[in-house]
Amino acid sequence: MNTRNRPERNIRPQPAASRPPYGLGTPAGALQARPRQPVFAPQGIALNPDVAPNPACSTDAGRPCRHPLTNEVENQRLLAHELTVKGSFDAIVPVLKRIAGVQHETDFTERAQAIAREQLGFELPAQILADAWVADLDMRALYGECVMRTLRLMAERAQINNPHQGTDEAVAFFLDSGYHAVDISPCSDGRLKGLVRYILRLPDGAVRSRKAYAGAMFDVDANVKRWVETELMRFREGRPVTADAGTRYLKVVVYHWSSSDPTHEGCAAHCSNVTVAAEAGLKRLNEFRQAIENSFCCGASVDTLLIGVDTDTDAIKVHVPDAAVEMNLYRFVDNIELYRDSVNDDASTARLKVHQAIQAASAITGWGAGSGEPHEGMRRLIASLLINNLSQIEYVCSNWGGRYADIGHAERFISVGDGFEEFQLRNLAYFAHLHTVEEGAPDMDVGIKIFTKLNVRHGLPAPVAIHFRYDNRVPGCRERTVERCQRVKGAIESRYADLAQKGLLVCGMTVQDKRPGSPIELVEAVVA
């Protein structure tokens, strides 16, 4: 298989021997100052019996885990980004409480705007403030507006951080592994919202698509269409490689579970049953591959990969395909076990153990037995994902003691449509990808159920951010996309009319050009 046929006009040349291949760990030079001390407690348990043990490792008092392959610089950058974005959303309620306390003052409007500018970074809707003298301040409408404005403000700031940095290197790595496109379908659960940037540590632009669906139950027909578009681009434009390059399309499904409370905080779409979730994801992958092979034959094929995520720790479980690209629920590499096994090693030994773990999974017998090892490109890709995820495991260990405090849902808004590429953060948004509300009803129903517990029970509305992308190269595309936003908004308000009439459902609408870095454009609601 030719995996290196890529046009240099699309990918920058790689600096020779200046760094290790993308995703294969930290440069050795960055590890020299790291103390090589064992981090496991003598009994292998937490020293404080009142604190839940760290699921990744148990350390001496006051000393965190330190894995030799962790990218600590990236961990610090991602932490700063997460605290900034989530802190901005979490500041809304305290600020509104402060504003509510001065709503009967004579200079209320001026004081409220001054507080909002200082604490939130934007002004509040003037009409809502101006009407406060007639009746009490409409806090539900004000809350919804604050969420939507914070969303747009954070998106603008996120673009400055250049989320597409490293895209060329990642695409080159995928091509070297034999894949011209990587398409990921995770569950729409908000705890997987940081899947690409955090859990897998991949640049946004390197992934062909990452549409989320409830229970990871992606639309097979829509994904076949996306495959056709990708292959047509290769035939017509040679992007990212020409059609004779011998590379493949990789389809990935990501399911999840909760190791702390597996029967209640797992995937809601599969009733928190991790086995059902994994089986359903594998079945959908097989249907997709079969659809491609049945429809196009003549060598048309795809590779598939099933990944599980423990949303309490962000550790992944990769189900290793065999030589025939078939997967098995009992043949996998559990990365949290790999972390424990290699945390005391030097970098070279730790990398070796990653590859040995993949080989051991391929050689398993019994129910997990397969027909040999996957091809070299797949092995290299799996090793890269496992190593990247080691940094995320340590990210959770360093900042949250190995397990997130919010093991359940804690999303700030429901994202409907194409989603915001600028936001890749755990528990920031519940994502419902849909073309029409009727088609995406299961996803929306789960999202409303989640926000009924998070917001509605406390008198706050469920914020719904409707966002679709358009192609400015296509005449009239923006206008049709705006109409689509209006249509989806009306359908959502009609489906959940009881919430909408009580002010417990707030919908904001935005559109955005498909070009990377394009600004988010506000769509005004049509007044009846």
115, 119, 123, 124: CA torsion to nearest 10 = -70
First to last CA, the chain: 60
Distance CA 355, CA 353 (A): 5
**Beta strands across the sheet bearing 520-523:** 429-432, 413-417, 462-470, 505-513, 520-523
Distance CA 274, CA 265 (A): 10
Distance CA 520, CA 440 (A): 23
Contact 385, 332 (CB under 8 A): no
Distance CA 199, CA 189 (A): 14
Alpha-carbon Rg for the chain, nearest whole angstrom, is: 24
SS3 104: coil
**Beta strand residue intervals within 258-402, DSSP E:** 302-310, 315-319, 332-334
219 is catalytic: no
SS3 308: strand
Record the tokens describing residue 335, joined without a space: 């990365």
Q: Which ranges of 433-496 does DSSP label H, i.e. alpha helix?
A: 441-454, 477-495
Distance CA 446, CA 434 (A): 13
Amino acid (one-letter) located at 406: D
SS3 236: helix
Alpha carbon of 479 to those of 295, 467, 483, 526: distances in Å?
Answer: 34, 14, 6, 14
Contacts of 297 (CB under 8 A, 6+ apart): none
Contacts of 136 (CB under 8 A, 6+ apart): 103
Give the count of alpha carbons within 13 A of 261, CB side only: 11
Contact 39, 57 (CB under 8 A): yes
H or E element at residue 468: strand 462-470
Hunting for tokens 């004081």 — which residue is that?
111
| Given 189, 204, 219, 513, the catalytic residue | 189
Nearest-CA neighbor of 152 among 500, 479, 463?
A: 463
Whether residue 68 has a cis bond before it, omega within 30° of 0: no
Residues forming the active site: 189
